[in-house]
Amino acid sequence: MFLNDNVLLMYIYIYRYLFNLKKKVKNKAHVEASICEAYIVEEISTFISYYFEPHLRTRINRVPRHDDGGEVHSNGLLSIFSNHGRPTPKNTVRGRYLSEIEFRQAHNYVLFNCDELRPFIK
């Protein structure tokens, strides 16, 4: 018997939710109270983090996952190329060429996200 995809996704969601609830249990003698307390602490900390100073890192204003350290001052270059980058790992395939679709997507990205070109787009 095969389950419908929606039912399978529902079970995955339920198991994930139960896993998160089980992680919140600190006092095994009072499981329900422990889950409620952890939930309330999480809600309160989320709520009050909106009122912290902007330079304090919280769940709400954390640094993006792939942040490489901010922007570099461009030396006459376009602003789109002023971000830090990471070197390619040695074990990756080098010399890969972009397909026509990938090239057009990269070209459009540069055109639409470069501040210096905005007057020409309008």
Instruction: Label residue 103 by pLDDT band (50, 70, 90).
Output: very high
- Model confidence over 76-95: pLDDT tens digits? 667 666 666 666 666 666 66
Report whether 77 contacts 44 (CB < 8 A): no
Does the pLDDT at position 29 exceed 70? yes
Most confidently modeled range among 34-48, 49-63, 92-106:
34-48
Does the pLDDT at position 4 exceed 90? no
Q: pTM of this prediction?
A: 0.45
Distance of CA 55 to the CA centre of its chain: 19
**pLDDT mean over 91-109:** 81
Q: What is the dihedral of CA 100, 101, 102, 103, to 10 degrees?
A: 50
**Residue 109: per-residue pLDDT:** 86
